[in-house]
Amino acid sequence: MKPKLLRLSIQINRCFTGRDKFSRLALSMRVLARKREMTDQADTRYTVDSVDRAISLLQTVAGEADLGVSEIARRSGDSKARAFRLLQTLVRRGLLARSSDGKGYRLGLAALMLGHAASEQMDLIRIANPVLEALGQEIGETTQLRIRDDQESLCVAKWEPKRDLRVNAIVGRRRPLHAGSSKAFLAHMDDEEREAILSGPLKRFTKKTVTDPRLLRVGLEQIRKAKFFVSRGEINDDLISITAPVFVAPGKIIAALNIAAPENRVPEGRISELGDMVARAAHRISAALGFCSQANEIAS
C-alpha cells in the first residue's frame, strides 16, 4: 500500500469516550476531507455532485457545531436554498440533528455510529492508546499523539493524569507545524514542502516561538537527526513537551508522540531519561504498525 494511503487508512481510529466522541467525529470528517483533496486530480466522471456537496456540508458541521444555514452556505459556497435542502436530507438520514435552539445543526446519532464503525476498523489510535496510557502512568504527565493535516498537526489521542495541575490535551485541537511538538512533521518532510511552509506566515505564540526561517532550519536539522526533541514554552508559557516521531517506513513519519507538563515539574536532569522513554514508546507504535527496523535500533 502506498504511504499516503496507508497514512489515511490508519489515522482516524480512537475509542469513543465521554466528551471526546464528537471531537473524534470531527477528526474523521477532516481526514475524509484530506483524502478528497488528494484525489482532486482524479477522474471525476463517476462522482455525483449532490452527494459531494452533502458531504461537504457534513464536514463543515463536523468542524464546528451549531452553525446556521446562512453560515454553512457561506462556508460551503452553496446557495442558501440548496444548502437548506441538503441539510434537511442529512437530518432525515440521522447524520445531522438540529441544535437545541432550533437555529443550527450538529452531528446526529447516525454520524456517531459511522464514526464508531470507522474507529473499529482503523489501527493507529487503537495501537497508540495503551502506549499513551502506560507512558503517562509511568511519568505522571499528559501524553498525546498528533498527526499531520496539511499545514497543521491534529491531536488524535491523549491520556491525562488524575492530578489537579496538568496539561489539558484536547482531541481535535490543531497546531501549526513550526512550533512545539508539531515540528516533528516539519523536520521529516521533503525540502520543497518544508520551504513552502517556512516561506509563509509563521505565527508567534510566545516570546519563545521561533519564527525566523533560518533558525528554524537549524533546529529542524537537529530534530531530524535526534530520537527525541524538547520544546520549551513555544506554544504556551511555562509548559514543556518532549516529542518523538512515529514512522511507518524509513523517514516516513505518520505521527508524533509527546509528553507535556509544567516546566517546573521536569528538571533538566530528567530530560534524557524522559526522552528515552518517549522514544521507546513511539518505536513500539512504529513496530506495531509494521515498521520494525526503527524499533530494533532503539532496543539495540
- Do 114 and 132 belong together in one domain? no
Kindly give the residue spans of alpha helices, DSSP state H, lying in 157-291. 183-187, 191-198, 213-225, 271-288
What pLDDT sits at residue 300?
Answer: 38
**CA end-to-end distance (rounded Å), the chain:** 29
What pLDDT sits at residue 292?
Answer: 65
- Interatomic CA distance for residues 290 and 300, integer angstroms: 18
Residues linked to residue 125 through DSSP beta bridges, in sequence order: none
Query: Across the chain, what does the average pLDDT equal?
Result: 84
Q: Record the cell numbers describing residue 95, joined without a space.
A: 447524520
Percent of the chain with pLDDT over 90: 62
Percent of the chain with pLDDT over 70: 80
Whether 118 shows a pLDDT value over 70: the answer reads no
Residues 6+ apart with CB under 8 A from 88: none
Confidence of residue 2 (pLDDT cuts 50, 70, 90): very low
- Do 102 and 31 belong together in one domain? yes
* Stretch 64-82: mean pLDDT: 93
The DSSP line for 156-170 is: EEEE--SSSS-----
* Stretch 13-30: mean pLDDT: 48
Domain of 84, in residue numbers: 3-120
- Do 47 and 144 belong together in one domain? no
- Interatomic CA distance for residues 287 and 134, integer angstroms: 16
- Do 213 and 295 belong together in one domain? yes
- Do 75 and 62 belong together in one domain? yes
Read off φ and ψ for residue 50, nearest 5 degrees: -65, -40
- pTM to 2 decimal places: 0.61
- Do 156 and 51 belong together in one domain? no
Which of the listed residues 120, 142, 169 is the one where a domain comes to its end?
A: 120
CATH of the domain at 267: 3.30.450.40
Query: Does 172 or 158 have the greater pLDDT score?
Result: 158
- Do 13 and 81 belong together in one domain? yes
**Count of the separate structural domains present in the chain:** 2
Whether 148 shows a pLDDT value over 60: the answer reads yes
